[in-house]
């Protein structure tokens, strides 16, 4: 019976990176919030989704919705019903900006604390006396700032306040210059720790010394005399500031060159130009910019500098969402808050492509597919091993063209038909580890040769894995032990591990350098599974059998990495 081998190449993509479509299969509607106006959403560091609405604050843990209400008999309850803004600080506290107060949720005590700011701002004497927190940010020193604004167009002066951790109180931001910080609608902090804010009074920056400066934002379309202001300030991964102007333009600002670019929000592909009013926007980890409007979601193409409407793929009729909030979580999901239809989640789905042997007449996958790596030039390398060296091959895939080329094991190795691992040593050099040692394959010259790693005994066979950690140390995992080579040094054998690794085959499953400077890997001896923890500074080892693996993960990994198990 002919063996059929399937190779799955995980090409991570999403429909939002292709033509702008929202697949119904990837769009989740939460009817628990049906009819609710969702003003803001936040994905915290614990994986919870916080939802600010007209009917109170809601937390979604992926399974259940928990609502928080004001309780006059409980000082640890939420003060406001309406939530306008949400922010998580570096300590994990969630700040809730409401209409009449600021609330802080402490995840450790699972309680709220209320803060008042009314006495710090100056309200219009002829107005309604209402104000709210429109924006929140944190500087590099841990000071949390709040932008106060009116949502009905009334004047609010001294509209920037901050939280002082020492006094546990709110304070007004004082400055000696005659700047009008009125109705702050946007706050953001760049990588250098400079705070940027926009309000009716102007556009400002506050440096690390708390010195405030006014910035004149101008280009051919926007003049500082136009008395416009910006909202929704957000920095992308390149430290470029994005915002929306009151002229219905998406703007980008280079804080180094002081260059302002503006893009009129309209759909060029639509014959009938309906009125589009942007309400919010978000930037995902891939740099995609989504704009929420009164008529659905738009996707901004940075290359063409155009906007495209994101339509719901597969729906019988095109639905229009009146969007109030957009935010992205760490998984790349887009959370969508609407004015009357509650909450939606758009998931990035992983796309899989299957390649079944034989792909063509010249290349056959004769056995198991293993040792898949991506080289620096973007090509995919993997091995396909049959019953002998004559029917085992190394295959290189060019991803954009979906083309393959292969070469037989016999052209690289002397006799071994099994490759333990593949490692890219340099731009032009790929290492293959097998029973005979380490072989270097030159991509440029298309030839291979066996090499010796300086400091590793030449008679050592069965080198199973090569690995470079984040500190630049080069690791060799062999039959007789583990070798480490620091920069500008020779290999050092960790003899302390030899006692544990005598006649043990250290087949490394996944070496990882954790934040606590430890390496985790696995090895095996017959049917027992061992786990070893290596400290980088002071070396010691811990060996656990598979029966005690649960103990290892609960007692060693979890306390140090603070992983939340679900």
pLDDT attached to residue 114:
93
pLDDT attached to residue 8:
40
Query: Which CA distances in Å does 47 have to 136, 330, 553?
Result: 20, 8, 20
558 DSSP 8-state letter = H
Q: Helix, strand or coil for residue 185? A: strand
Average pLDDT, the chain: 78
How many CB atoms sit inside 10 A of residue 333's CB? 18
How far, in Å, CA of 415 to CA of 439, rounded? 12
317: Cβ contacts below 8 Å, ≥ 6 apart = none
pLDDT attached to residue 367:
64
For 120, phi and psi rounded to 5 degrees? Answer: -95, -15
118 in Cβ contact with 102 (< 8 Å): no
What is the per-residue pLDDT across 7-34, written as a single tens digit (0 to 9) for each?
Answer: 443 333 333 344 456 666 678 889 888 8
**Strands 27-30, 38-43: pairing kind:** unpaired
Sequence length of the chain is 566
Query: Which CA distances in Å does 524 have to 11, 219, 423, 433, 503?
Result: 31, 65, 21, 18, 10
Q: Taken in order 406, 409, 412, 418, is the CA torsion positive or negative?
A: positive
Same fold, 22-351 and 367-561: yes
pLDDT attached to residue 88:
97
What is the per-residue pLDDT across 54-108, written as a single tens digit (0 to 9) for each?
Answer: 888 999 998 899 999 888 888 888 888 889 999 999 999 999 998 878 999 999 9
14 in Cβ contact with 299 (< 8 Å): no
**Strands 419-426, 429-434: pairing kind:** antiparallel
- Listing from the earlier edge strand, what are the strands of the sheet with 102-106? 83-88, 94-98, 102-106, 111-115
pLDDT < 70: residue spans in the chain: 1-25, 127, 129, 224-226, 269-274, 312-320, 349-367, 416-417, 459, 461, 480, 493-566
pLDDT attached to residue 22:
63
237 in Cβ contact with 230 (< 8 Å): no
How far, in Å, CA of 541 to CA of 532, rounded? 6
What is the per-residue pLDDT across 399-452, written as a single tens digit (0 to 9) for each?
Answer: 878 788 888 888 777 776 688 889 998 888 999 988 778 889 888 888 888 888
> Regarding the domain delimited by 22-351, which CATH topology (the fold level of the hierarchy) does it fall under?
Methylamine Dehydrogenase; Chain H (2.130.10)
Tokens representing residue 214 in the block? 């006014």
Tokens representing residue 155 in the block? 């004047």
pLDDT attached to residue 390:
78
Q: Taken in order 167, 168, 170, 176, is the CA torsion positive or negative?
A: positive
458: Cβ contacts below 8 Å, ≥ 6 apart = 452
Q: N- to C-terminal Cα distance for the chain?
A: 43
- Which CATH number fits the domain 367-561, given the four candidates 2.130.10.10, 3.30.930.10, 3.50.30.50, 3.30.70.270? 2.130.10.10
Tokens representing residue 171 in the block? 């304070």
Instruction: Identify which of 52, 231, 59 has the alpha carbon closest to the alpha carbon of residue 135.
Output: 231
How far, in Å, CA of 138 to CA of 146, rounded? 9
The residues with which 135 forms a beta bridge, in sequence order, are: 147
CA 562 to chain centre: 18
- Show me where the domains of the chain are located: 22-351, 367-561
pLDDT attached to residue 175:
82
């Amino acid at each position: 019976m002919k063996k059929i081998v399937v190779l799955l190449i995980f090409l991570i993509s999403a429909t939002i990176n292709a033509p702008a479509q929202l697949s119904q299969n990837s769009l989740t509607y939460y009817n628990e919030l049906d009819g609710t106006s969702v003003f803001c959403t936040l994905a915290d560091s614990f994986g919870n989704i916080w939802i600010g609405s007209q009917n109170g604050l809601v937390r979604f843990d992926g399974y259940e919705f928990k609502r928080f209400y004001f309780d006059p008999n409980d000082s640890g309850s939420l003060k406001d019903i309406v939530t306008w803004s949400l922010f998580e600080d570096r300590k994990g506290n969630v700040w809730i900006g409401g209409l009449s107060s600021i609330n802080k949720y402490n995840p450790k005590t699972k309680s709220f604390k209320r803060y008042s700011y009314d006495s710090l701002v100056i309200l219009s004497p002829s107005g309604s006396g209402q104000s709210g927190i429109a924006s929140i940010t944190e500087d590099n020193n841990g000071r949390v700032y709040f932008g106060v604004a009116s949502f009905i167009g009334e004047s609010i002066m001294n509209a920037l306040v901050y939280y002082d951790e020492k006094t546990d109180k709110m304070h007004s931001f004082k400055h000696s210059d005659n700047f009008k910080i009125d109705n702050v609608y946007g706050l953001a902090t760049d990588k250098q720790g400079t705070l940027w804010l926009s309000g009716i009074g102007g556009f400002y920056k506050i440096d690390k010394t708390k010195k405030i400066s006014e910035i004149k934002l101008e280009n051919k379309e926007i003049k500082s005399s136009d008395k416009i202001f910006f909202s929704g300030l957000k920095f992308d991964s390149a430290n470029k500031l994005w915002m929306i102007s009151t002229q219905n333009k998406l703007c980008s600002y280079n804080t180094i060159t002081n260059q302002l670019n503006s893009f009129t929000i309209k759909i060029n592909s639509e014959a009938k130009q309906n009125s589009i009013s942007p309400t919010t926007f978000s930037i995902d980890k891939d740099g995609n910019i989504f704009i929420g409007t009164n008529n659905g979601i738009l996707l901004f193409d940075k290359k063409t500098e155009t906007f495209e409407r994101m339509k719901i793929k597969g729906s019988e009729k095109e639905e229009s969402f009146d969007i109030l909030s957009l935010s992205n979580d760490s998984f790349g999901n887009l959370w969508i808050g609407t004015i009357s239809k509650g909450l939606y989640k758009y998931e990035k789905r992983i796309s899989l492509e299957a390649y079944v042997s034989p792909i063509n007449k010249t290349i056959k996958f004769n056995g198991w597919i293993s040792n898949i790596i991506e080289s620096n030039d973007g090509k995919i390398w993997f091995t396909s091993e049959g019953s002998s060296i004559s029917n085992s091959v190394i295959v290189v895939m060019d991803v954009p063209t979906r083309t393959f080329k292969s070469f037989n094991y016999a052209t690289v190795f002397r006799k071994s038909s099994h490759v333990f691992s593949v490692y890219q040593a340099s731009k032009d050099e790929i290492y293959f580890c097998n029973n005979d040692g380490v072989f270097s394959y030159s991509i440029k010259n298309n030839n291979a040769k066996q090499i010796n790693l300086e400091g590793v005994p030449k008679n050592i066979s069965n080198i199973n894995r090569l690995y470079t950690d984040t500190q630049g140390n080069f690791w060799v995992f062999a039959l007789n032990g583990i070798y480490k080579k620091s920069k500008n040094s020779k290999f050092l054998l960790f003899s302390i591990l030899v006692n544990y690794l005598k006649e043990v085959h250290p087949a490394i499953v996944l070496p990882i350098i954790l934040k606590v400077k430890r390496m985790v890997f696995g090895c095996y001896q017959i049917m027992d599974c061992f786990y070893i923890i290596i400290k980088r500074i002071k070396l010691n080892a811990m060996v656990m059998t598979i029966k005690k693996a649960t103990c290892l993960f609960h007692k060693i990994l979890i306390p140090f990495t603070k992983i939340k198990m679900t």
